[in-house]
Amino acid sequence: MSYRPKHHLTAPQGRLNDPNGMMLLGDELHVFYQHDPSFPAQPKRTGWGHAVTTLGSGVWRHFPDALYPGVSYDENGCYSGSGVVHDGQIRLFYTGNVKRDGKRLTSQNIVDVDDIEGPMGGTYRRRGTNPAIDGPADGYTAHYRDPHVTLAPDGTWRMVLGAQRENGTGAAVLYTSDDLDRWQFAGEIEFAGLNYNVASAYMWECPNLLRMRDQATGEMRDVFVFCPQFPDSDECGYVVGKLEGLRFEVERDFTPLDFGSEFYAPQLISDNNGGALMLGWMGLPARDDTPSFPAEGWVHQLTLVRELSLIDGHLATALQIPDAHDMLVERVALGDAPWAADLVAEGDHVCATVTWQPDGAGRGTVFVDVAGRIRWAECAAGELVLSADGAAVECTAGDGEVAFSFAVFAPGGAQWSALTPQ
Residues 6+ apart with CB under 8 A from 277: 22, 24, 29, 268, 269, 270, 271, 305, 306, 307, 308
CA distances from 104 to 100, 112, 206, 326 (A): 7, 26, 18, 45
Pairing verdict, β 14-25 and 298-299: parallel
* DSSP class of 8: S
Is 115 a known active-site residue? no
Choice among 18, 65, 146, 214 that is catalytic? 18
**413: phi > 0 → left, psi -120 to 50 → alpha, else beta; which?**
left
Residue pair 19/266 in contact (Cβ under 8 Å)? The answer is yes
Amino acid at 75: E
Measured between alpha carbons, how far is 198 from 176 in angstroms, rounded to an integer? 25
Measured between alpha carbons, how far is 189 from 280 in angstroms, rounded to an integer? 24
Measured between alpha carbons, how far is 142 from 27 in angstroms, rounded to an integer? 38
User: Edge-to-edge strands of the sheet including 157-165?
Assistant: 140-151, 157-165, 170-177, 184-188
Measured between alpha carbons, how far is 361 from 199 in angstroms, rounded to an integer? 33
Residue pair 384/332 in contact (Cβ under 8 Å)? The answer is yes
Pairing verdict, β 276-281 and 306-311: antiparallel
Residues with a catalytic annotation lie at 18
